[in-house]
């Protein structure tokens, strides 16, 4: 029976089913194309000469291609300050968040842990109810954290959702492991760091990726808590360039006419989009194996 | 030190005995409390519970110089002021429309994507398709809105294709389609992961058996694949439908222009502007609290309804 299985799969479908299936594939292909086309367009557009871009759009007349936009964006100091801040905040946030979450999930995963219900209620309530914007802002202000990077790092560092995921993962680890460690007289700390954590690296990797991406891509907390331009992360710099259409003044200072400035400002947006998105887009395929392994799905279910 | 936590529930233990056992347990496992749980509890109490106390200013005419204790109490005045203002209905409707339409259009697409991905026989092709589908998830909100803005700008490619010069970002009626379509573009692939994983984990043998037994595509989907993801679909629906009022600030704010406010001003952006830009702390907090309470009620209601439809299984 199994000999022909591979080839005959498609043959098992009736003609009507095949039609439905191909129509489905067609829709899927459309979706894929819809994702790729804008991205490719922006890549091409970022190499255009500003005047050509505005008047004709993309051309494949390579004499009209320039690196102007990239030079101007890459030589701007504020972009690099933003990058540096984003890297610092994202790494610190990831480390603190994953550490606090993995630690807290451990006692919560033990069947005989006393006080589990109380702590669980304490945590879960915060998933549904919160003080809201102004009370949180006033608190940060009272703590003296305005214009401090800790204002964007600490409030979201402990995620209940991620704790639940880590807890579910721990619960999937065979109990014998802990019982063996208990017999050997290993302390909780020793067992956790030497035995449990090493087998939980997949969930650590997934949570780390999530938290890093979340911090790297967010702008709201930075917008309300960090006014000092030297402390602003990349997304805030991008916001003024892309959303408010106010490129950093150094990028267009040498251009005299307003029309040319406007054209250049538009072009700079394309290069900025590419430069700022590149790091994550390049990094993410290396994590893809974790996406499909069902870690996330399996854990979310619990 | 030999004291063991007695197996609870087997014999009726006096409350004093139980208290004693708890103390022994805590003393013996102090590391679990002080080293493992304390950081999370501290962060939660400081950054989540302290602001919950701060919602009291919604019932005050809060003055930052006098603090919560010194400010004047005004009862429900702020709520009445908000609900009787002509803008109230508009912001509420904008919020609801944006998220309800977003849910209706956006919710089924990841499920359909997962079914289709699951039917791709070649592993290599499947992986490449997934690589593309997940990619937009890693683009930030700001960059996404930047992309939307350059593509839709008056001199941009969309207007070039249509041979028009419409400024889409200033049209109130264009805001919701832009918001929802760009949301699907960015999030549908990523949201399909959960469904794809449960499909590929659960259904292989069953599906083959069903195919050999001559089940057609629809029968396979109904009998094998749908049961594999049903629970996930229910959970996702409860979470998303329950969070209809807490639709995010970041993207709506980044797609707002002065001219599309009549459809793009939602409660979250209004709270921000009133509170932090105008400094009307108490009023803004009241609006935010109103939003949170509705959200909690919705979540409970949706959970109840779904549980009823789903043989008592909710969240």
All residues of chain B having their beta carbon less than 8 Å from the beta carbon of residue A20 are 217
What is the separation of C-alpha A203 from the centre of its chain, rounded to a whole number of angstroms?
Answer: 16
Q: What are the two backbone dihedrals, phi and then psi, of residue A82, each rounded to the nearest 5 degrees?
A: -60, -45
- Asked if A279 contacts B121 with a C-beta cutoff of 8 angstroms, the reply is no
- Asked if B154 contacts B76 with a C-beta cutoff of 8 angstroms, the reply is no
pTM of the model: 0.88
Decide if A107 and B33 are in contact by the 8 Å CB cutoff.
Answer: yes
pLDDT over threshold 90, residue B303: no
> Which residues make Cβ contacts (< 8 Å) with residue B240, sequence separation at least 6?
B103, B107
Structure tokens of B24? Answer: 């022994």
Nearest chain B Cα to A24, which residue? B116
Rg (CA), chain B: 26
Number of domains in chain B: 2
> What is residue A217's predicted lDDT score, i.e. its pLDDT?
93
SS3 B73: strand
The CATH number of whichever domain residue B178 belongs to comes to 1.10.3720.10
pLDDT over threshold 90, residue A286: no
Interface residue of A32, A54, A131 to substitute, partner B, most B CBs within 10 Å: A131
DSSP-derived secondary structure letter, A299? H
Is the domain of B92 the same as that of B48?
no
Q: How far apart are the first and last CA of chain B?
A: 41
SS3 A142: helix
Q: Who has greater pLDDT, B169 or B209?
A: B169
> Which residues make Cβ contacts (< 8 Å) with residue A162, sequence separation at least 6?
A97, A101, A207, A210, A211
Closest CB to B285 among A16, A27, A132: A132
Determine what percent of chain A falls in helix, strand and coil, rounding each to the nearest 5: 75, 0, 25
User: Which one of 3.40.50.2300, 1.10.3720.10, 3.30.390.50, 3.40.50.300 gives the CATH number of domain A76-294?
Assistant: 1.10.3720.10
- Contacts within 8 Å (CB) and 24+ apart, B232-235: B232/A297, B232/A300, B232/A301, B232/B194, B232/B195, B232/B198, B233/B111, B233/B195, B234/B306, B234/B310, B234/B313, B234/B314, B235/A300, B235/A301, B235/B315
Confidence of residue A230 (pLDDT cuts 50, 70, 90): very high
Nearest chain A Cα to B186, which residue? A35
Residues A41-66: tens digit of each pLDDT = 999 999 988 888 877 777 777 787 88
Confidence of residue B55 (pLDDT cuts 50, 70, 90): very high
In a domain, B69, yes or no: no
Separation between Cα atoms, residue A86 and residue A247, nearest integer Å: 19
Is the domain of B45 the same as that of B162?
no
Q: Which of B134, B141, B239, B145 lies closest to A284 in space, CA to CA?
A: B134
Cβ neighbours around A227 below 10 Å, total: 11
DSSP-derived secondary structure letter, B33? I
Cβ neighbours around B188 below 10 Å, total: 23
Decide if B142 and A42 are in contact by the 8 Å CB cutoff.
Answer: no
Angle A180-A184-A190 (CA atoms, 0-180°, nearest 5)?
Answer: 90
Beta strands in chain B (DSSP E): 60-61, 72-73
Separation between Cα atoms, residue B315 and residue B313, nearest integer Å: 7
ipTM value for the complex: 0.88
> What is residue A292's predicted lDDT score, i.e. its pLDDT?
60
DSSP string across A68-93: HHHHHHHT-HHHHHHHHHHHHHHHHH
All residues of chain A having their beta carbon less than 8 Å from the beta carbon of residue B188 are 31
In a domain, B68, yes or no: no
Q: Which residue has 């398709």 as its token pair?
A: B129
> What is residue A5's predicted lDDT score, i.e. its pLDDT?
46
Is the domain of B47 the same as that of B109?
no
Range of the domain at B147: 77-309
Contacting A residues, span 178-217, partner chain B, CB-CB under 8 Å: 187-189, 192, 213, 216-217
Q: Which of B223, B229, B139, B117 lies closest to B185 in space, CA to CA?
A: B139
Decide if A242 and B145 are in contact by the 8 Å CB cutoff.
Answer: yes
Percent pLDDT > 70 in chain B is 93
Decide if A9 and B211 are in contact by the 8 Å CB cutoff.
Answer: yes
Angle A31-A37-A38 (CA atoms, 0-180°, nearest 5)?
Answer: 105
Element of type H or E holding B61: strand B60-61
Is the domain of B182 the same as that of B289?
yes
Is the domain of B31 the same as that of B119?
no
Residues B259-297: tens digit of each pLDDT = 999 999 999 999 999 999 999 999 999 999 999 999 889
Closest CB to B296 among A104, A128, A187: A128
In a domain, B72, yes or no: no
Closest CB to A130 among B52, B231, B272: B52
Angle B222-B206-A20 (CA atoms, 0-180°, nearest 5)?
Answer: 45
């Amino acid at each position: 029976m199994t000999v022909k299985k591979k080839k005959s799969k498609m043959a098992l479908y009736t003609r009507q089913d095949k039609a439905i299936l191909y129509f489905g594939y067609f829709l899927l292909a459309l979706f894929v194309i819809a994702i790729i086309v804008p991205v490719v367009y922006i890549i091409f557009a970022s190499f255009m000469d500003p005047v050509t871009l505005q008047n004709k759009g993309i051309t494949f007349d390579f004499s009209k291609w320039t690196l102007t936009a990239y030079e101007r964006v890459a030589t701007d100091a504020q972009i690099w300050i933003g990058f540096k801040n984003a890297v610092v905040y994202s790494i610190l946030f990831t480390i603190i968040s994953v550490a606090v979450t993995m630690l807290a999930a451990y006692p919560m995963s033990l069947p005989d842990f006393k006080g589990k219900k109380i702590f669980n209620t304490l945590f879960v309530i915060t998933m549904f109810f919160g003080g809201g914007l102004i009370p949180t802002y006033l608190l940060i202000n009272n703590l003296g954290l305005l214009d401090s990077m800790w204002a964007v790092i600490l409030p979201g560092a402990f995620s209940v959702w991620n704790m639940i995921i880590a807890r579910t993962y721990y619960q999937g680890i065979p109990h014998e492991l802990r019982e063996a460690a208990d017999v050997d007289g290993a302390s909780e700390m020793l067992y956790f760091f030497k035995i449990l954590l090493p087998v939980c690296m997949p969930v650590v990797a997934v949570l780390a990726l999530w938290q890093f991406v979340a911090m790297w891509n967010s702008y709201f907390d930075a917008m309300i808590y960090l006014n000092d331009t030297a402390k602003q992360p990349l997304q805030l710099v991008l916001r003024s360039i892309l959303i408010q259409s106010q490129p950093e003044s150094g990028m267009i200072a040498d251009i005299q006419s307003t029309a040319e400035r406007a054209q250049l400002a538009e072009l700079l947006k394309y290069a900025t989009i590419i430069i700022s998105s590149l790091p994550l887009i390049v990094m993410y395929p290396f994590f893809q194996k974790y996406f499909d392994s069902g870690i996330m799905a399996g854990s979310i279910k619990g | 030190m030999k004291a063991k936590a007695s197996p609870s529930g087997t014999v009726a233990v006096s409350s004093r005995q139980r208290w004693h056992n708890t103390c022994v347990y805590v003393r013996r496992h102090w590391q679990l409390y002080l080293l493992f749980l304390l950081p999370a509890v501290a962060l939660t109490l400081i950054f989540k519970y302290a602001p919950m106390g701060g919602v009291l200013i919604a019932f005050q005419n809060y003055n930052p110089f006098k603090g919560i204790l010194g400010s004047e109490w005004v009862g429900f005045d702020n709520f009445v002021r908000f609900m009787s203002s002509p803008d109230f209905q508009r912001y509420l409707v904008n919020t609801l429309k944006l998220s309800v339409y977003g849910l209706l259009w956006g919710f089924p697409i990841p499920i359909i994507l997962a079914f289709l991905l699951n039917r791709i026989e070649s592993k290599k092709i499947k992986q490449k398709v997934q690589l593309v589908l997940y990619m937009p998830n890693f683009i930030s909100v700001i960059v996404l809105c930047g992309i939307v803005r350059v593509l839709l700008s008056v001199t941009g490619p969309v207007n070039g294709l249509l041979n028009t010069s419409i400024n889409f970002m200033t049209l109130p009626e264009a805001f919701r389609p832009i918001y929802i379509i760009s949301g699907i573009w960015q999030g549908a692939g990523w949201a399909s992961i959960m469904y794809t994983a449960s499909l590929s984990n659960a259904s292989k043998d069953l599906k083959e058996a069903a195919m050999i037994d001559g089940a057609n595509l629809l029968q396979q989907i109904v009998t094998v694949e749908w049961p594999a993801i049903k629970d996930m679909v229910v959970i996702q629906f409860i979470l998303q439908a329950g969070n209809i009022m807490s639709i995010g600030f970041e993207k709506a704010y980044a797609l707002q222009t002065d001219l599309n406010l009549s459809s793009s001003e939602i409660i979250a952006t209004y709270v921000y502007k009133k509170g932090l830009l105008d400094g009307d702390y108490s009023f803004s907090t009241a609006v935010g609290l109103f939003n949170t309470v509705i959200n909690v009620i919705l979540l409970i209601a949706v959970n109840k309804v779904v549980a009823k439809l789903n043989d008592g299984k909710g969240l």
